[in-house]
Structure 1
Amino acid sequence: MLQQILHDMYIDPELLAELSDVQKHILFYKMREEQLRRWKERETWESLAQDKGLRPTKTKRAASDKHIQWLLGADGEVWVWIMGEGPGDKPYEAISEELIAERARLQAQREAEELWRQKEAEITKKFRDALANEKARILAEKWKVEMEDRKAAKVLEERIQEEFKRKEEEERKRGEEQIRLQEEQRAKELYWTLKQAQLHCQASEREEREWEEQLRRSKAADEERSRRAQRARDEYRRHSLRAIQKGTVAGLSSMFQELGQSHEQEARLYHHLPGPGPPQPLALPV
């Protein structure tokens, strides 16, 4: 029936009214997928046909007074409805939970129907064979009895048939109950399997983001250490040249004092920067 609905892109209103909200969401989602598939297929075919010269290039239509007026929101942009964010909509998590539960229930229902068909066939065959054997036995006995006993044999046959019918009905009820319990158990198993897969996917994405953030911070710390080391080497060369030009011990003493202050400032700055470990001491080139 779903294939027929997707083929016609139409569903009877009475049938639609019997569906639950989750089933309606699933049906509308499938119909939208079918629309997109048909549109992409048509666009691909027209593109191939135009490339191979099977169809003429589309020409612009003459100007027309017909136009489309899109509904605009309060911000002046085209109004868009996002599932789960509209007024009165269920949260996305609730819709996701319902879809997972519905998928699990439908799959378990299909499996239960298949199991019940097999079970019903086994029960029917079992009692049909037993009844056939019993009828054969009764017929064999009936041939041995006298004419006056035929009525009693008929009554016996009917009573036996009723007894077998009662037992068959009891067996069917037990089989239906067993299948129902298996269906419920299977639905729970499928639900938890799908739920665990969803949680695992979310955890993997979170771990990947944390790893990328740690890598970025580590790279930033390495770059900052390289810049500080380069500044220290440049500062050392600059003060060395200045001391040589002055040719005084006082110049060298002032240089080392300035280098010590600069080293303390950089150490305090590095202390506040994020990094994987304690700050490394600045090494002056020799």
Structure 2
Amino acid sequence: MGDGPGDKPYEEISEELMAQRARLQAQREAEELWRQKEAEITKKFRDALANEKARILAEKWKVEMEDRKAAKVLEEERIHEEFKRKEEEERKRGEEQIRLQEEQRAKELYWSLKRAQLQSPASESEERVWEEQLRRSKAADEEQSRRAQRAREEYRRHSLCAIQKGTVAGLSSMFRELGQSHEQETRLCHHLPGPGPPGPLAVPASRAWERPLRPVSRAAIVRWFKEEQLPRRAGFERSTKAIAPWFHGIISREDAEHLLENMTEGAFLVRVSEKIWGYTLSYRLQNGFKHFLVDASGDFYSFLGVDPSRHATLTDLVDFHKEEIITVSGGELLQEPCGQRDSPPDYHLLFE
């Protein structure tokens, strides 16, 4: 080799072999990366298209019967073409990204092989170095994935712990911190009874009772709300210390429908349930009402038998369904909260 006329020198052949080997390995890795990237892109746009179709389906009651089918077909075609265009653009970006990574990886592998050759001329030693580099690269990727997963789990755990350990001050102290006058306090509290503002809400540090399987009395429900729900800020707005306009106390189904009967479709309220440890979301339809049970017996809030989504707070559940429908068949979106009509408000027992 290298002795006859036209033969290449050993060093040149070795260089070519290493370069070819690096390119082949980089190509295999690039193909695997592209398969993963293509699967991510396909899933992303398939899920986005399904969500968009669900949103269109939720608004079907707003369209006249004759125009609904044509409008739905046109809208779906438009959305399909738009998502197809976006998917193609992202595929091109992904292919370019993989191509650049392939070129960079080929260079890295070439120099790795070169260094290994200089350190040990034996082919077996080169193979061992090559395999060790691959093993370390894979191990580093796996460790990075594990750290990211642990970080996400730790964030969720701390978020839930913070909600569970939170405390709720009394309504009077809330208004004092906000600098409200006595007249403003009376108006914002919906004229709670008594000569002055209510005293601090007593939230025991530890539970002194064993919760029954189901509510057995109104007093038990009040106690459950004060001891378990107030620390989780159930019924309060997200960024203020005010009670949410949609929140109501222990009122009946008939009372809820009476409050909602003169409101438009999409109006809603959330009342403390007498059937389960949780709440009932009462919703105004165009011609009637719907009532959804909200389970709050554990560390989360979710609809019973309707939507498997779990939410850290009651406000999270309500805000989520201002943007996302409750059921596909009904297309319920929470729009206008139904507030208090009487004085004192129907939830005053819960905050005494």
**Fold match, TM over 0.5?**
no
Instruction: Tell me the TM-score normalized by structure 2.
Output: 0.33
> Which has the larger share of helix?
1
Please state which structure has a larger fraction of its residues in strand: 2
TM-score, length-scaled by structure 1: 0.40
Bigger-Rg structure (1/2): 1
